């Protein structure tokens, strides 16, 4: 678990409500397959339809260390200063079906009725984690990000893509045409992986092990990076001394393991092909935000790879794709901030998104 200093997140003039500094604080959480990030959020009057949030307390928890989500939330709540928060918004990986969540990467099930009963919240909301990341990206300044390719300026008048490999692969689209962001949450991580070379076809065949469906996140995730490395070792009849995505990333950065370097290079290039496909399918010509826990660890290798070349290698669409700005953003507290912004818009707005 790690602490962090309080953070002030400024929202844009597109916000539709004002909030008072005297409003009750609430919890905002970003729960992924590996970590749960929890913040105590206070709403600050922005005036003129604007608004800001202040994350006054923040902690990161390792999901595998806890039997369920309510144990994490209870531990965080017990460390709060002042009155207990009576509301929470939880951004969580997976697909919401009613009051429950369908997810292949969390170590436990998530149920809103169970959380209400165990923790006594008066109000609790559940939102897809990449919907929250996309919400935060709408208010995120690209000056705090790493430019990878394309034009410098994000075009908010066109759809934008937010995607990131972590424990799984999350993806969402920001759709313009409203005074607040409309977010299209997707399950792009479970869509079929498409090979673009003979080597990738061979890898796909190996990963599928006779099955017809190999999802994108089988490669584009932390576990996917490990699976890709192990597959290459098998295909090359080489030993596989590295046993975690972190070890593979470190070895590739150090330049002391040829198969680790090949793995990361292949990962980055193949990912570029997927990004180009998604930009075309979603019409996301306004820009791409890359998030998640994997890419920041290999940022320098990603920038030096053929990611951009593979992304724009789309035949007659090349001219359009090569202009699309791509930025690597630090996941950090973005999910917490996005969950908070989403909660405010749905508590004070019309709840249409």
Residues 116 and 157 in one domain: no
User: What's the count of helices (H) and strands (E) in the chain, helices before strands?
Assistant: 11, 15
Rounded to two decimals, the pTM is: 0.83
Look at residue 143 in the predicted model and tell me its pLDDT.
63
Q: Is residue 308 part of a domain?
A: yes
Residues 212 and 251 in one domain: yes
Q: Is residue 200 part of a domain?
A: yes
Residues 9 and 81 in one domain: yes
Look at residue 119 in the predicted model and tell me its pLDDT.
83
CA distance 135 to 62: 24
Residues 282 and 173 in one domain: yes
Q: Is residue 101 part of a domain?
A: yes
Query: Which two structure tokens, joined as six digits, stand for 226?
Result: 């490990």
Residues 18 and 128 in one domain: yes
- For residue 204, with 0-12 CB atoms within 10 Å meaning exposed, 13-18 middle and 19 or more buried, which class applies? middle
Query: Which two structure tokens, joined as six digits, stand for 250?
Result: 């470190």
Residues 23 and 118 in one domain: yes
DSSP letter assigned to residue 351: -
Of the chain, the end-to-end C-alpha distance in Å amounts to 33
DSSP one-letter string for 256-317 = --HHHHHHHHHHHHHHHHHHHHHHHHHT-TTEEEE-SSSGGGGHHHHHHSSHHHHHH--GGG
Between the alpha carbon of residue 84 and those of residues 47, 89, 183, 269, 349, the distances in Å are 27, 15, 30, 47, 24
For residue 224, which of 277, 166, 276 has the smallest C-alpha distance?
Answer: 166
Q: Is residue 288 part of a domain?
A: yes
Residues 182 and 310 in one domain: yes
Q: Edge to edge, what strands does the sheet with 169-175 contain?
A: 146-149, 326-328, 287-290, 160-165, 169-175, 182-186
Look at residue 346 in the predicted model and tell me its pLDDT.
78
Residues 210 and 240 in one domain: yes
CA distance 46 to 88: 21
Q: Which domain holds residue 212?
A: 142-328
Q: Between β-strands 87-92 and 123-128, what pairing exists: parallel, antiparallel or unpaired?
A: parallel
Q: Is residue 239 part of a domain?
A: yes
Look at residue 79 in the predicted model and tell me its pLDDT.
81
For residue 32, which of 227, 210, 209, 164 has the smallest C-alpha distance?
Answer: 164
Residues 129 and 149 in one domain: no
Q: Is residue 292 part of a domain?
A: yes
Q: What's 278's domain CATH number?
A: 3.40.367.20
Between the alpha carbon of residue 155 and those of residues 69, 99, 260, 296, 324, the distances in Å are 37, 35, 36, 23, 9
Between the alpha carbon of residue 138 and those of residues 81, 112, 147, the distances in Å are 30, 27, 16
Q: Cβ–Cβ contacts within 10 Å for residue 192, how many?
A: 11
Give me the tens of pLDDT residue by residue for the chain, a chain 353 residues long.
333 323 333 333 233 233 333 357 899 999 887 889 999 998 876 533 345 788 888 999 998 899 888 889 989 988 877 677 888 999 887 777 776 676 766 777 887 888 887 888 888 888 888 888 888 888 766 667 899 999 999 999 999 999 999 888 989 999 987 767 788 988 889 999 999 999 999 999 999 987 889 999 999 999 999 999 999 999 999 999 999 999 999 999 999 999 999 999 999 999 999 999 999 999 999 999 999 889 999 999 999 999 999 999 999 999 999 999 999 987 678 889 999 988 888 765 444 44
DSSP letter assigned to residue 144: G
Count of the separate structural domains present in the chain:
2
Q: What are phi and psi of 182, to 5 degrees?
A: -100, 130
Look at residue 37 in the predicted model and tell me its pLDDT.
92
Look at residue 102 in the predicted model and tell me its pLDDT.
67
Residues 270 and 336 in one domain: no
Residues 180 and 303 in one domain: yes
Residues 220 and 207 in one domain: yes
Q: Is residue 353 part of a domain?
A: no
Q: What's 70's domain CATH number?
A: 3.30.420.40
Q: Is residue 98 part of a domain?
A: yes
């Amino acid at each position: 678990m790690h602490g962090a200093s309080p953070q002030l997140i400024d929202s844009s003039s597109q916000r539709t409500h004002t909030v008072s500094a005297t409003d009750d604080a609430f919890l905002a959480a970003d729960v992924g397959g590996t970590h749960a990030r929890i913040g105590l959020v206070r709403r600050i009057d922005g005036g003129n339809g604007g608004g800001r949030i202040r994350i006054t307390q923040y902690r990161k928890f390792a999901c595998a260390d806890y039997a369920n989500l309510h144990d994490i939330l209870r531990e965080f709540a017990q460390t709060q200063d002042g009155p207990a928060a009576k509301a929470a918004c939880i951004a969580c990986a997976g697909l919401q079906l009613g009051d429950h969540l369908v997810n292949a990467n969390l170590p436990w099930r998530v149920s809103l009725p169970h959380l209400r009963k165990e923790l006594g919240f008066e109000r609790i909301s559940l939102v897809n984690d990449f919907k929250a990341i996309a919400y935060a990206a709408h208010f995120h300044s690209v000056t705090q990000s790493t430019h990878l390719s394309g034009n410098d300026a994000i075009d908010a008048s066109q759809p934008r893509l937010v995607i990131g490999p972590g424990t799984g692969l999350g993806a969402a689209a920001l759709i313009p045409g409203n005074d607040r962001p409309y977010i299209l949450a997707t399950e792009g991580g479970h869509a079929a992986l498409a090979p673009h070379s003979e080597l990738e076809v061979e890898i796909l065949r190996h990963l599928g092990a006779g099955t017809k469906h190999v999802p994108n996140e089988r490669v584009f995730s932390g576990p996917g990076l490990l699976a890709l490395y192990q597959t290459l070792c098998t295909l090359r009849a080489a030993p596989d001394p590295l046993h975690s995505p972190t070890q593979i990333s470190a070895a590739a950065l150090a330049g002391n393991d040829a198969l680790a370097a090949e793995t990361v290079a292949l990962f980055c290039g193949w990912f570029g092909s997927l990004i180009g496909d998604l930009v075309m399918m979603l019409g996301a010509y306004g820009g791409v935000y890359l998030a998640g826990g994997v890419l920041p660890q290999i940022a320098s290798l990603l920038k030096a790879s053929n990611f951009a070349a593979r992304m724009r290698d789309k035949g007659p669409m090349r001219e359009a794709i090569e202009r699309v700005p791509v930025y690597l953003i630090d996941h950090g507290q973005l999910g917490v901030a996005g969950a908070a912004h989403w909660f405010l818009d749905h508590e004070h707005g019309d709840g249409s998104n």
